[in-house]
Structure 1
């Protein structure tokens, strides 16, 4: 019995050993097949673009050796003074999978379950950890971060890099290998094998419906050969904007350009280059202190940038604000959560204005010094809506005053364009409305004309009459007796 048992035992051991070897060989074949597929996928991915910013908007992080080689290759023509050791904008640091392996996986089902769960992450290729003949193989992590083109696996369903759904402005975000070419036909091109080839004509101004604005062509291509070749590369983001439009008017300077630019550029903390269409040097110089806080780099005149192709890791084309002359954090697509208080602080810092609130009239100063007196600023207009009795207004005010609204049922417009922004800045706003007999339009039309008698009907007739007469051809002669209570109210706010 013992001999027979021994024979039976040896037979069972041989059968068990052969079963174990067969399973191991089968497992090795499966793993080898998976490794081959992963190798082909990684090789195809790495060979699809010669640039460090592979995949355009989908930025790929590789192992240290691969990343270093690509970095040296792509910065051969970089501008002098650039930070050569600085990582590309928003590019993730490469790393390898370092989870230890014991060499004894429980069984192939558990291993397959682990791989299946890891494959659920469709943002990139998850490292495979396998054991073949007692050797451990670790694949580098290749992680893809989407930046505007959407699904890596389905080019047909990729998200467009340009959003033209806003009524006031268009905006495009090119994340990856973005190339700006100036001249008479300015273009900004995104090179990405994952973005469907598309093209847009964008007016990079905050009011795209205005006539006379220049358009920039924004497009995406899959092959680097279909894009202009880089002549210079700057390793910071860029914002392409347009001046002109209604700039030159103080109110439009801020609501059309400076506030939208503050919203769009603040997150870069000065590490951004402005690329400008229809550059107005005198206007930029006028707000030089503000622009110096927005960007630490030279402002590029794209219209005159002939023969130059500027390459960036991230480009935003267009800018705008959802509300007039103010900031609503809930509508801020940048995620910065900025408010008009932040913009006010930004302006004070730009112009080195330390005081952030008006003086208090009842404040007790140092002994021997007179109590503080408020100061009033009057903005004297010379074209339209100017004061016809300015000396009397100055004498009556004497200390402080409020915003003066011309005749013509303009209170709502004044509140939206001036009152709300002032309050969002933490200021108190006093509104003084001009009466019909204080308006120069009374002398032009007479008291029985609809322009005087029925301003609502004038508004209903279209914006043209409102803009021409109420805003463009009206001056005011302030009734000092009516104006005095507004001054008194302002003084009370300072107590």
Structure 2
């Protein structure tokens, strides 16, 4: 072993000597000059010492390392030491970065309540520990050990778990919950009638519920954002529970939770949870910020979840329709399926989402004829409050183009496949809302967004106002008078009569986009 170490050392010295000679031949100085030679001599003697005295070398090395460690610790602890100051700076930098990147209430200690009230749109409180419900007093209790009873006193929080907290009028209709920290054996319910081993998410299905835009923007997407991290191991506790809401969105709820939801107001039993998140997180209009989601999930992931939610129900609908059609004409059901598949593959499909009241397309029949002439198979959807969402999803998921006038029903663009075309007809006075609420979110989903901004002559307002009236020439000044004026004039008081010569260009653009994508897919 000693000879082996000496051989390695000798080889190392010879290599260094050759490198030095080569450097001198090339006009370069060996690294370190005389000082480098001194270091090499020290290293040689040190290795030689270790090899010759290996019996005692380990002890010597340990003593030397211990000495180095002691000196390092003294330098770190010594006030005013440059090393100590540098370490302090690094630690402070780490704390600053951590605080900047960690959102409020990202880490909540057991036995505490933390409320994040920094967001414009929503408040979210997190309770961790022994959490118990009491519907009679609209309360959630967090029980803490008696040793912490002093800290627990006066730690009540109040929250209305809905995502439009800046709108005081609508928030006043949302039930307020009281979150109370109490010592064990105090005012909290004495026993658990239903014990859950997974967290709860508490939210309201009230507010603007009934409007499909608000149902998705204020409810469904925030629920996805808040619940996704739990991988379905979470219980939904709903305020203002509606049976029709569960009928409409039950397929989505099943994708986010493995457990039946709880009607907080009417279920008077005491439910106990290890954790409760009260309120929903929201990012933007019909949007998901990947940087704030586990696994960097996006709105495309949300749409894939919708696919999973409705796939089974849609297949059931198709099976029922094919069975009924086969029985009506007396042919095998599989023949109907093949015929439908061939028909669907032949032409692109365009869906018109029709409006029956304000902002209706007055010449809708002419629009249908123009779309057919362009080469589309056309379907007209007239969604109602009781329209099954699976039916809407089926139609739009299979479509290549969606056409509709700005309004809540445009939320259904979420049901379209990325790469499809969304033509939003933009009436007078709705430019900002059309792009903010639907245009930009559609782009984020990956749709080809083709807005069609009407001219004053295409608006029914053209027949009601003078040609130089600001209602026609300067909608921004009219909108500046307030929401009620905007609603009365541009939202409730306006229909659309499309200039088909102009609109046909949009239809051709949409058809060309479909044809180009089809060629690309065929060549791949």
TM category (shorter chain) comes to: 0.5 to 0.7
Q: Distance in 2 between matches of 1:319 and 1:238?
A: 12
1:340 to 278, 296, 299: 299
Deviation for aligned residue 1:486: 0.9
The residue correspondences of 1:81-120 to structure 2 (distance < 5 A) are none
Could you say which residue in structure 2 is the equivalent of 1:237?
199
Deviation for aligned residue 1:149: 7.8
Deviation for aligned residue 1:351: 0.9
1:381 to 355, 372, 394: 355
Tell me the TM-score normalized by structure 2. Answer: 0.59
Could you say which residue in structure 1 is the equivalent of 2:501?
481
Q: Distance in 1 between matches of 2:177 and 2:259?
A: 22
The residue correspondences of 1:89-488 to structure 2 (distance < 5 A) are 161-183=114-136, 185-193=137-145, 196=152, 197-208=154-165, 209=167, 210=170, 211-229=172-190, 230-306=192-268, 308-330=269-291, 332=292, 335-352=294-311, 372-398=346-372, 399=376, 400=401, 401=403, 402-488=422-508
Q: Distance in 2 between matches of 1:426 and 1:250?
A: 21
Distance 1:224 1:166, change over 3 A: farther
Q: Any stretches of 5+ residues in structure 2 without a counterpart?
A: 1-69, 71-103, 316-340, 377-400, 404-421, 516-524
**8 Å Cα contact 1:326-1:420 kept in structure 2:** no
**8 Å Cα contact 1:147-1:174 kept in structure 2:** no
Q: Any stretches of 5+ residues in structure 1 without a counterpart?
A: 1-112, 114-145, 356-367
**8 Å Cα contact 1:256-1:320 kept in structure 2:** no
Distance 1:147 1:390, change over 3 A: closer
Deviation for aligned residue 1:147: 7.7
Deviation for aligned residue 1:148: 6.8
Q: Distance in 1 between matches of 2:253 and 2:298?
A: 19
**8 Å Cα contact 2:114-2:127 kept in structure 1:** yes
Q: Distance in 1 between matches of 2:128 and 2:105?
A: 5
Deviation for aligned residue 1:445: 3.0
Deviation for aligned residue 1:180: 1.6
| Higher relative contact order structure (alpha carbons within 8 Å, sequence separation ≥ 6) | 1
Distance 1:374 1:191, change over 3 A: same
After TM superposition, the structure 1 stretch with the greater mean CA deviation from structure 2, 344-353 or 224-233, is: 224-233
Q: Distance in 2 between matches of 1:192 and 1:262?
A: 30
**8 Å Cα contact 2:222-2:280 kept in structure 1:** yes
Q: Distance in 2 between matches of 1:344 and 1:428?
A: 16
Deviation for aligned residue 1:310: 0.7
Q: Distance in 2 between matches of 1:341 and 1:454?
A: 37
Decide which structure has greater helix share: 2
Distance 1:482 1:282, change over 3 A: same
The residue correspondences of 1:75-86 to structure 2 (distance < 5 A) are none
**8 Å Cα contact 1:406-1:474 kept in structure 2:** no
Q: Distance in 1 between matches of 2:467 and 2:294?
A: 52
Q: Distance in 2 between matches of 1:450 and 1:315?
A: 52
Q: Distance in 2 between matches of 1:369 and 1:260?
A: 40
Q: Distance in 1 between matches of 2:143 and 2:423?
A: 51
Q: Distance in 2 between matches of 1:201 and 1:147?
A: 16
Tell me the TM-score normalized by structure 1. Answer: 0.62
